[in-house]
Structure 1
Amino acid sequence: MILTAMEALSPLSGGANLVLLALSTLTSAITAALGVGGGVLMIMALAQVMPAAAVIPVHGMVQLGSNVGRVALTWRHVDRAVMAAFVPGVVLGALLAAWLLVRLPPGVLELCIAAFVLYSCWGWGLPKRALGGAGTFVAGTATTVLSNFVGASGPLVAAFIKEGRAERLPRVATFSACMTVQHLPKAIIFGAAGFVFRDWLAFILAMVAAGFVGTWLGLRLMQRVSDRRFDALFKWVLTLLALRLIWLGGQRLWGG
């Protein structure tokens, strides 16, 4: 009965849909508790079982719903000054992504993201100028363009958001708000490109609901983890994601 109901959600098998729903809960809990990581894990899983043309648009809509849920639970802690500069950058980045015809060689984007993330974790802090309004605008533009080509720009946005924010709840809240506005234009961009969201709508809604449960669990897990341990986990999660991007980027760049 359960698998039969699951089969109605999407063109995938009932078993695949059930596993992905469970994974949506897990990855949302990871992002809510650690601040980052769930989106990249999710896109890795989707890429294993989903048609290539559907991965980024479906992932974008699922992440949009999951981040809306996190913002709803943490909106009081969102840094509004960051959002005021980030949102215009997202608008410009979405326009560039919709019309961009020239792309970097495969692998270069992943290596650039990984280098920035590793620098943010282990190098000197970003200059204050980069953390101001202009720097946030540039970050919003660049990461939005990347998000539409590589799917998950979360590690890069998280690396930027963590600078200058000592408290973890504002980090998670502001990161979730940034990712919400960054995923929103994908519905327009991929819809205009011909992707049929209707075929995946039930699956997307079910994944969003499962993600909301994961967010609720993750925020409660966060309260049980000390600030020091949270900072260490946050840094190592970013580092591991960056190392994975280096591996993938190297494979794509050199044809491995």
Structure 2
Amino acid sequence: MPFFDLLIPPGLDAGITLTLLLTSVIASFITIAFGIGGGVLLLAVLASLLPPTALIPVHGVVQMGSNFGRFALMFAHVNWQPMLAFAAGSLVGVLAGGAISFNLSPALVQVGVGSFVLWSIFRKPPRWMSGMPIVSGAISSFLTMFFGATGPFVATLTKSFALDRHGHVATHAAFMTVQHLFKTLTFGLLGFAFVPWVGFMAAMIVAGAVGTLLGRLVLNRMTDHRFRIALDIVLGLLALRLIWSGLFALWTA
């Protein structure tokens, strides 16, 4: 199929491309239904199939598109108050991350982010997260230049505003759209060639939109109480996975 051939990125075949498209559907479904999780799942699958140099930039574009879809769908529920400060911090964070010449260890980032998220589940998120979203934006955006999936950290920030389930999903999507937009622009300025990946990234975003629509059906049927329980469970599992992955990488290095 000539059209489908346009969606296959360099170094991949049709079967792998279809697998990744299905993963994008599942990842977006998980994120909108349970508040978090899809970005880390997608990064883990992409990391095993994409060239290392393309992983973070391509994941960033796909996540920007998927989060924008959630943001547009849930626009009326966005908490706009912290958005400008978060965006300003995000811009500073990606520029700082892009300017650093050494490679910050992703394993250390995983252990640090995972430990912080796990701690925040059992205690209230620190007051500075809701009081100074510019700081949260700067920290998470700096780390995402090296690690890629800092959604759990941003979800902790979003959780600190004590929003209802629709407000949490919408505001988190807005935060992540801004962060991934700045990250994508920065990687473009640093010289990453996005053009060979355009068809694949567009298809992944469309697949993510399908998952978003399906996941919203689950979100609408869920109560706020059950959503908060599901969010804590998913955050806890993600935090443990991040810590385990980071420690394993450090042990085997």
Could you tell me the TM-score, scaled by structure 1's length?
0.93
In structure 1, C-alpha distance between the alignment counterparts of 2:105 and 2:206, rounded to whole Å: 37
What amino acid is the match of 2:130? Answer: L
Stretches of 4+ moved more than 6 A in 1? none
Q: How high is the sequence identity, in percent, across the aligned residues?
A: 43
| TM-score (normalizing by structure 2) | 0.94
More moved, 224-233 vs 101-110? 101-110
RMSD: 1.5
Alignment of 1:168-247 (within 5 A): 168-247=165-244
Write the mapping of 1:44-83 to structure 2, written as runs, cut at 5 A. 44-83=44-83
- Contact residue 90 and residue 179 of structure 2 kept, 8 A: yes
Kept in 2, the 8 Å contact 1:29–1:217? The answer is: yes
Tell me the equivalent position of 2:32. Answer: 32
Which position in structure 2 is the counterpart of 1:19? 19
Amino acid at match of 1:128: R
Measured in 2, the distance between the counterparts of 1:106 and 1:219 equals 32
Structure 2 equivalent of residue 101 of structure 1 = 101
Q: Closer, same or farther in 2 for the Cα pair 1:233/1:99, shift >3 Å? A: same
Post-superposition shift, 1:115?
1.2
- Uncovered stretches (5+) of structure 1, i.e. residues with no partner: none
- How far apart in 2 are the matches of 1:126 and 1:40? 21
Q: Distance in 1 between matches of 2:31 and 2:128?
A: 28
Is this contact kept in 1: 2:125–2:156, CA < 8 A? no
1:126 paired with 2:125, answer yes
CA distance in structure 2 between the partners assigned to 1:42 and 1:106 by the alignment? 16
Between the aligned partners of 1:111 and 1:204, the Cα distance in structure 2 is: 29
* Contact 1:5-1:14 at 8 Å conserved across structures: no
Q: After superposing the two structures, state which structure 1 stretch, 182-191 or 15-24, moved more.
A: 182-191
Matches within 5 A, 1:5-16: 5-9=3-7, 10-11=9-10, 12-16=12-16
SS state at 1:254 partner: helix
**Number of positions where the alignment pairs a residue of Structure 1 with one of Structure 2:** 251
